[in-house]
Structure 1
Amino acid sequence: MEAMTAEEIVKAVGGTLLSGNPETVIEHICIDSREASEGSLFVPIIGEKVDAHKFIAQVLDHGAAGVFMSHGDVIDSDKVHILVKDTVKALGDLSAHYRRKFRMPIVGITGSVGKTSTKEMISAALETGFHIMKTAGNQNSQIGVPLTLFRMEAGQELAVVEMGISEFGEMENLVRFVEPDVAVVTNIGEAHIAQFGKKENTMREKLKIAMNFTEKQRIFLNGDDPLLRQAAGTMKCPVTLFGTSEECDYRAENIHIEDGKNCFTLVYPEGREDVVIQQLGLHNVQNALVAIAIARHFGIEPAVAKRGLNEYAGIPMRQQINHLLHGIKVIDDTYNASPASVKSGVDVLMQLDNPGRKIAVLADILELGDASWQCHYDTGMAISEEKLHMVVTVGQEMKALAKAIIDSGAGIAVCSVDTNEEAIQWLFENVSDGDAILVKGSRGMHEEEVVKALREKYGAKA
């Protein structure tokens, strides 16, 4: 982060300096009291369970230069205390001010699922030609995006920023902070359907990422998503479609697996290019397509951009393939889940080359609200079309998915359990040599426990 004075910060957020020297230099913004150090400005967030204002004295003792505060008294009159109405809003306001210090273009990424993997693949392609800054992990919220922007520094040439929303009106805030020059929408799915009500509402909110775009800016849309393909004709800025359908400007043909890797032929307006990526699944082909398209938008030719994609190894807990003893393969896709990502996880499972059975261990998809039962049931119907041998469901919501598979008459064996411990026990008693196992569920279901148990029992292949 480039340094700012307390006076500059006060003006940027419309706050009041209660104490401290206005010339105090701030070199770091943090919301975690454990990260506070000399030169830090601590922003206490008021959460559902904890009001971080109670940590102000602690961070000042640890050397922090100052704090935001929305209530309470000055703790140390020698340190900077800035009074604001809302600390989260002040954090966003300050990030918007900080972003405007830089002229570097920003690629903003949104969508129902796949934002983080798309961000990583776009970054891998862009890094073949530029010094970039990218979102760390999945810091894509109203708090995470400002923290990401504070990582911008002199010498960087491009930024790639995830922009996640779960409520109406949030995208307008993120756009104000980020001011993206290029936008990507990965897809429109059922994620946060409880808040948005229906997919069309989700799409309208996501497309606000380009709300201020002119003819000089561009949005990249997944042309395989029916809603986005239809919306392309309504945009007020130039649109590039990516996907496998004929309408797409960057299209994948001849998709196949070789030596455990995804291979396809890229067809784009000026030619063709054979591409190899380490990640399986159609969604990763789509990610690679938009990564190449954006790289080319910034002047990197596909023949160069594809090298970065070929070297990209993936993200932990997101469709990471564990090769265990006895030919057993485990797909660790435990970071999170949505109906669309469950389908993509099963897609990857079906693409694995293994002599044994295909087994999917699927735990509850959370945050679906009143639509939960129907979404789980529909997901079950969708994956029943695959040639799975066995589905093990974990949790109450997944019972709807289990019912759908049984109702489908597909002949897929189903076992429903309530806990990870029961799922682990079933696997220990039933897994055979050469089996491939997908483990997936929402973050709150802690399915990494299942992966850990399998790794400990069967060990990693040398």
Structure 2
Amino acid sequence: MYTAESISKILKGELMQQTGYPEIEHILLDSRKLLVAETSLFIPLVSERRNAHQYIDELYKKGVSNFIVSEPVAAGLYPKANIILVKNTLQALHALVAYHRQQFQVPVIGITGSNGKTIVKEWLYQLLEKDYNIVRSPKSYNSQIGVPLSVWQMKPENQLAIFEAGISQPGEMVNLEKIIRPTIGIFTNIGEAHNEGFLNIRQKVNEKLVLFTRSDVLIYCKDYLALNECVNNFHNLVGKREIDNDLQLLTWSRKTDADLRIIGVDKNDNHTRIDALHKQEPLFIRIPFTDEGSIENAIHCWALMLYLGKPQDLIQERMDHLGNIAMRLEMKQGINNSSIINDSYNSDLGSLAIALDFLQHQRQHPTRTVILSDILQSGKSEGSLYEEVAGMLEKKGIQKLIGIGKHISREKQSFQKVQSTFYASTEEFLQKVNTADFQNESILVKGARVFQFERIGKLLEQKAHQTILEINLSAIAHNVKAYQAILKPGTKLMAMVKAFAYGSGTYEIASLLQFHGVDYLAVAYADEGVELRRAGITTPVMVMNPEPSSFDAILQWNLEPELYSMNILEQFEESVRYANKTNYPVHIKLDTGMHRLGFEQQDISELALRLNAEGLFKVQSIFSHLAASEDPAMDAFTKTQADRFAKMSAALQQQLGYAVIRHIANSAAIHRHPDLQLDMVRLGIGMYGVDSVGAFQDKLRNVSVLKTTVAQVKRIPAGDTVGYGATWKAGEPSIIATVRIGYADGYKRILGNGKGQMKVRNKLAPVAGVIAMDMLMLDVTHIPDVAEGDEVIVFGEDLSVQQLAQWAGTIPYEILTGISQRVKRVYYQE
């Protein structure tokens, strides 16, 4: 049991104030993720952009009484708090969890590598859960913050731990090694992923190998030459250190001698048989996957099982039943105007907390519902386990619970504060449920794999045609942070969510941005802002194209209009006066040379008089648009615009008599013209993963994947034509795949007859014929084994929207905003 007093001794910190001895069970790093105040310890982390000490007051009022701080706190403001002062809160977090790890002597598996870490971790859990009480990293918690939160979960009842570790720059793995202290190591593979912070692959391998400095064994594949060389050098170095263990290398290879020598890989339908020699004994496994990544991940798991001494017949039986791993939380449109969050492959307290956080962000529906299975292997008594779950649901504002399973059903008395229904099995739920009972709600489907909750997901998801736009919310958050990292201290961020958030979905993106604390949102028209307000968005919203007919709605929903002419100013004055409001927030648009909208230099004096008259308005910001900030050839004109803006905004601000936010920088200007960041910047296309310049592209992640499927495959003889107008003729016997997308979905007709291409089975296939409204055809003659139902990538990670725009003779903006709303959006968080 930890208390503030014992933790202060562990950290050698100063116990500034002690008012009690509550047991500390949870570490809280994000004030928005508070679950159990009474047993939480808040550790405010400090970065260049954010100092979390500002949230101490808020959390104290919510009942948190234990704090580790690195800044002096006025203890008198928190008379019931225990406060520990340390030099650095991140280092304190690492030291505390490293101490916690040392209290356990169970085997600990540490996994690192470029790819496959989370899959290997989750498959090992599937393979070993019947033999051990296992604690593991939630989702892909493998960072300097994620690893401590993972290891803190270790409890006396655990018999095995599995943690993954990832690093983005040299020097980070030293910290993670002290926290994880793996006794068993797995190095999955090495590649170019996340390579930016390293000089070369060998430096990256050597940095990652630090994780296994005190391990008993390291499992890896010898076929990666750089990895194999680095491991052998590392092995020799470790052997010379004064430590009490000798690192054993357990290797596997498809090319050369190894402890596990792969001698055959036979893919058949949806399964793969892998044959090997182990200690001269022939062995084999079958896995229900055929892709190369899954084969490699399975062999790592196989080697680990052999190291643990598991019988080969047991390994064979369990390998054959490996299941898919949900690498992300998906949100899809559901029946009866609902949203479905699908997390139907595992159920434990750690991943439940993550899923509930994601559910809490969704405010577009008045009701939040959780469909939850029995939680397996918690190590707690059923009573205390489900009391804790009930507390989590209450804290997150869950109104409805559907419990499925014998254990959760026995503890129904724990859930009296939520509307709850219980079923003994998934089958019983599917037989008895009335789908009409689900109306206008956000529904989290969260179940252990054995409960097959994917069947529930299919029942509740709205049926739509098979063209979908997948939107990675984690990538958007990453891109926002990438731009924030280059902002000057104190510079605010306005995020553009106009035009259906560049095709990505206004509410869903705005909700994410609000969670990450952007300062302003911007929409094109008032109705977009009204929808955000209806859905629970409270962040300030600027309306860039206010129309007189929308002024009542703007005032009713506390939206902030852009005023760009005397005419629009006068009309809004009348509405504000009629509504009996004063100091209403507005934004003033200046025309500095783009000549689209905005006040000009000669308007400034009259404008200031009108804005100050009657006290009707409070100017929130003065701004302008750059016409060509991305083009080096236009830098002189950009400077002219900036100079005009500086002169005009200074004159207006002086006559207003108070300080006003000034902003002119768009996505390209943020990094090309850092001197124009001013008080705030407007982030648009860059947030969605596109740098119109190209210089900042490697810092961004792809956000959207537009995909569809093959509806039919036809073989046609040479000379036959394809599509309307018979404009495409086969020069040889050809194979044509018809796919489910057309110009009504946003795929432009100009891309017909070979101008556009799509990816099928990871190869490019040109468009054959003209684009129809709902369908188009691809020439897949050169791609083997294309079949009905195959996935087709229109644009995404390896076929960029920039490339598609280039083929179409347009810009990525037009492609993204032109995707029809009949295309189903699927949102996911990694």
Is contact 1:110–1:162 with CA below 8 Å preserved after alignment?
A: yes
What CA distance in whole angstroms lies between the structure 1 residues aligned with 2:789 and 2:287? 24
In structure 1, give the amino acid aligned to 2:776: N
The structure 2 residue matched to 1:210, chosen from 212, 216, 236, is 212
2:771 maps to 1:441: no
1:143-200 per-residue CA deviation (whole Å, 9 max, x = no partner) reads 1111111110111111011011111111111111111111111112112322102111
Match of 1:56 in 2: 56
Q: How does 1:285-324 map to 2 (within 5 A)?
A: 285-317=295-327
Q: Does the C-alpha gap of structure 1 residues 208 and 79 become closer, same or farther in structure 2, counting only changes over 3 Å?
A: same
What CA distance in whole angstroms lies between the structure 2 residues aligned with 1:57 and 1:263? 59
1:316-346 per-residue CA deviation (whole Å, 9 max, x = no partner) reads 257x999999997999897999xxxxxxxxx
Match of 1:230 in 2: 229
**How far is 1:54 from its partner?**
1.7
Q: Does the C-alpha gap of structure 1 residues 151 and 134 become closer, same or farther in structure 2, counting only changes over 3 Å?
A: same
Match of 1:430 in 2: 776
Q: Does the C-alpha gap of structure 1 residues 76 and 23 become closer, same or farther in structure 2, counting only changes over 3 Å?
A: same
In structure 2, give the amino acid aligned to 1:195: G
Is contact 1:126–1:300 with CA below 8 Å preserved after alignment?
A: no
Match of 1:85 in 2: 87
Q: How does 1:144-163 map to 2 (within 5 A)?
A: 144-163=146-165
Is contact 2:69–2:86 with CA below 8 Å preserved after alignment?
A: yes
2:202 maps to 1:200: yes
The structure 2 residue matched to 1:27, chosen from 25, 33, 41, is 25
Q: How does 1:405-416 map to 2 (within 5 A)?
A: 412-413=764-765
Q: How does 1:341-356 map to 2 (within 5 A)?
A: none
Q: How does 1:266-281 map to 2 (within 5 A)?
A: 266-269=276-279, 271-281=281-291
What CA distance in whole angstroms lies between the structure 2 residues aligned with 1:170 and 1:227? 21
Is contact 1:317–1:334 with CA below 8 Å preserved after alignment?
A: no
Q: How does 1:356-367 map to 2 (within 5 A)?
A: none
**How far is 1:104 from its partner?**
0.8
Is contact 2:209–2:231 with CA below 8 Å preserved after alignment?
A: no
Is contact 1:128–1:305 with CA below 8 Å preserved after alignment?
A: no
Give the match's secondary structure for 1:38: helix
Rg larger in structure:
2
Is contact 2:45–2:52 with CA below 8 Å preserved after alignment?
A: yes
**How far is 1:20 from its partner?**
2.1
Unaligned runs of 5+ in 2: 237-246, 331-453, 476-687, 703-734, 739-756, 779-787, 802-816
Match of 1:343 in 2: none
Give the match's secondary structure for 1:25: coil
Is contact 1:7–1:22 with CA below 8 Å preserved after alignment?
A: no
Is contact 1:261–1:280 with CA below 8 Å preserved after alignment?
A: yes
Match of 1:66 in 2: 66
What CA distance in whole angstroms lies between the structure 1 residues aligned with 2:125 and 2:772? 40
Match of 1:95 in 2: 97
In structure 1, give the amino acid aligned to 2:213: M
Q: Does the C-alpha gap of structure 1 residues 452 and 67 become closer, same or farther in structure 2, counting only changes over 3 Å?
A: farther
What CA distance in whole angstroms lies between the structure 2 residues aligned with 1:113 and 1:426? 39
Q: Does the C-alpha gap of structure 1 residues 441 and 105 become closer, same or farther in structure 2, counting only changes over 3 Å?
A: same
What CA distance in whole angstroms lies between the structure 2 residues aligned with 1:316 and 1:128? 20
Is contact 2:272–2:288 with CA below 8 Å preserved after alignment?
A: yes
What CA distance in whole angstroms lies between the structure 2 residues aligned with 1:427 and 1:43? 56
Q: Does the C-alpha gap of structure 1 residues 335 and 257 become closer, same or farther in structure 2, counting only changes over 3 Å?
A: farther
**How far is 1:108 from its partner?**
0.5
1:234-288 per-residue CA deviation (whole Å, 9 max, x = no partner) reads 3142211124223232243432333423332243225333322233322211211
Q: Does the C-alpha gap of structure 1 residues 129 and 71 become closer, same or farther in structure 2, counting only changes over 3 Å?
A: same
Q: Does the C-alpha gap of structure 1 residues 208 and 64 become closer, same or farther in structure 2, counting only changes over 3 Å?
A: same
Give the match's secondary structure for 2:230: helix
**How far is 1:8 from its partner?**
1.4
What CA distance in whole angstroms lies between the structure 2 residues aligned with 1:275 and 1:238? 24
**How far is 1:136 from its partner?**
0.6
Q: Which runs of 4+ in 1 moved over 4 A?
A: 320-337, 363-366, 368-373, 425-429, 451-455
What CA distance in whole angstroms lies between the structure 2 residues aligned with 1:428 and 1:316? 31
In structure 2, give the amino acid aligned to 1:430: L
Is contact 1:109–1:161 with CA below 8 Å preserved after alignment?
A: yes
Give the match's secondary structure for 2:277: strand
Q: Does the C-alpha gap of structure 1 residues 266 and 70 become closer, same or farther in structure 2, counting only changes over 3 Å?
A: same
What CA distance in whole angstroms lies between the structure 2 residues aligned with 1:329 and 1:302? 43
Give the match's secondary structure for 2:257: coil
Range moving further from structure 2, 427-436 or 296-305: 427-436
Match of 2:11 in 1: 13
Is contact 1:15–1:83 with CA below 8 Å preserved after alignment?
A: yes
Q: Does the C-alpha gap of structure 1 residues 286 and 457 become closer, same or farther in structure 2, counting only changes over 3 Å?
A: closer
In structure 2, give the amino acid aligned to 1:301: P
Q: Does the C-alpha gap of structure 1 residues 328 and 113 become closer, same or farther in structure 2, counting only changes over 3 Å?
A: same
**How far is 1:426 from its partner?**
11
Is contact 1:334–1:440 with CA below 8 Å preserved after alignment?
A: no
Match of 1:345 in 2: none
Is contact 2:182–2:214 with CA below 8 Å preserved after alignment?
A: no
In structure 2, give the amino acid aligned to 1:71: E
What CA distance in whole angstroms lies between the structure 1 residues aligned with 2:773 and 2:228? 42
Is contact 1:106–1:178 with CA below 8 Å preserved after alignment?
A: yes
Q: Does the C-alpha gap of structure 1 residues 66 and 300 become closer, same or farther in structure 2, counting only changes over 3 Å?
A: same
Match of 2:144 in 1: 142
Give the match's secondary structure for 1:180: coil
What CA distance in whole angstroms lies between the structure 1 residues aligned with 2:474 and 2:265? 26
Give the match's secondary structure for 1:201: helix
Is contact 2:19–2:79 with CA below 8 Å preserved after alignment?
A: no
What CA distance in whole angstroms lies between the structure 2 residues aligned with 1:309 and 1:330? 32
What CA distance in whole angstroms lies between the structure 1 residues aligned with 2:301 and 2:256? 19
Range moving further from structure 2, 97-106 or 305-314: 305-314
TM-score normalised to structure 2 length: 0.41
Range moving further from structure 2, 92-101 or 271-280: 271-280
What CA distance in whole angstroms lies between the structure 2 residues aligned with 1:325 and 1:310? 31
Match of 1:264 in 2: 274
In structure 1, give the amino acid aligned to 2:158: Q
Q: How does 1:112-127 map to 2 (within 5 A)?
A: 112-127=114-129
What CA distance in whole angstroms lies between the structure 2 residues aligned with 1:79 and 1:309? 51
1:52-88 per-residue CA deviation (whole Å, 9 max, x = no partner) reads 2222122222222311111242341221111112111
1:82-109 per-residue CA deviation (whole Å, 9 max, x = no partner) reads 1112111111110001011111111111
**How far is 1:26 from its partner?**
0.9
Unaligned runs of 5+ in 1: 338-362, 377-386, 391-404, 416-424
Is contact 1:188–1:228 with CA below 8 Å preserved after alignment?
A: yes
In angstroms, what is the RMSD of aligned CA positions?
A: 4.4
Is contact 2:69–2:84 with CA below 8 Å preserved after alignment?
A: yes
Match of 2:172 in 1: 170
Match of 1:221 in 2: 220
What CA distance in whole angstroms lies between the structure 1 residues aligned with 2:176 and 2:304? 21
Q: Does the C-alpha gap of structure 1 residues 292 and 101 become closer, same or farther in structure 2, counting only changes over 3 Å?
A: same
Give the match's secondary structure for 1:313: coil
What CA distance in whole angstroms lies between the structure 2 residues aligned with 1:84 and 1:92? 12
1:1-46 per-residue CA deviation (whole Å, 9 max, x = no partner) reads xx31211111222211111246332121121223252111011222
How many residue pairs get matched?
385
